[in-house]
Structure 1
Amino acid sequence: MRISKLVVESDSNCAVELIQKISVEKHSQSTLIRAIKELLVGLESVVVRHIYREANFCADALAKAGQEQEDGVHCFKLPPAMVAHQVLADRSGMKFSRSVTL
């Protein structure tokens, strides 16, 4: 896809930490983690960071919907109905509160 700069955001702090670790040989998913790292090595700039689940709503909804689609790349001219509300809220700058237990 000729991508040289990439920002990877995940609501899984564990996944972010594993991708950022130097060695993951003893992890049960080490093969997958190594494959991800190999994809990132050829890029000019890569940032991998944790985001809260609320900020990942659209990606999560699209991933779940993608499990029911045929394999391949799917492009949308407009946001699909499942994420349209969230995209509009984000575009308008709407803020969502987050409850945190201490």
Structure 2
Amino acid sequence: MITTAELWGILKGLSLAWDEGSRQVSIETDSMASIQLINGASPLDPHYNLVLLIRNLLTKHVHCKIEHLWREGNFCADHLAKASTSEQPGLHILRDPPEGRN
């Protein structure tokens, strides 16, 4: 279930980046399972169709790298998660990085 959510997040992030005109993308995730699936999912894997959608978007970007980041080192995601508790539900597109760290 967690891997599925992570893969959907990667897909939506890539799609949003493409729609916004970004052609150079860096994906940082603490999900090694997601990275492994993107790099080599078997057609028998239940995530296979989702992985194919991700791979298709990856080929569109001029430069895209996917990196594993330990959960403890992902200060940006941690900060955004904490900041989101005071926001209205829904999609929020940040044009500039938020200031400060909690």
Which residue of structure 2 lines up, in the alignment, with residue 73 of structure 1? 92
- Provide Cα deviations, 1:68-88, integer angstroms capped at 9, x if missing partner: 7433333376737xx723xxx
Contact 1:16 1:50 in 2 (8 A): yes
Rg (Cα) greater in structure: 1
Residue 48 and residue 77 in structure 1: after superposition, are their counterparts in 2 closer, same or farther (change >3 A)? closer
Contact 2:29 2:69 in 1 (8 A): yes
Counterpart secondary structure, 2:21: coil
Which residue of structure 1 lines up, in the alignment, with residue 25 of structure 2? 6
Match of 1:31 among 21, 34, 49: 49
Report sequence identity in percent: 28
Contact 1:24 1:33 in 2 (8 A): no
Structure 2: runs of 5 or more not aligned: 1-19
Residue 20 and residue 55 in structure 1: after superposition, are their counterparts in 2 closer, same or farther (change >3 A)? same
- For normalisation by structure 2, the TM-score amounts to 0.60
RMSD across aligned positions (CA): 2.8
Structure 1: runs of 5 or more not aligned: 86-102
- For normalisation by structure 1, the TM-score amounts to 0.60
Which residue of structure 2 lines up, in the alignment, with residue 58 of structure 1? 76
For the residues of structure 1 that align with 2:29 and 2:77, how far apart are their CA atoms? 9
Deviates further, 12-21 or 49-58: 49-58
Q: Structure 1: which 4+ aligned runs deviate by more than 6 Å?
A: none
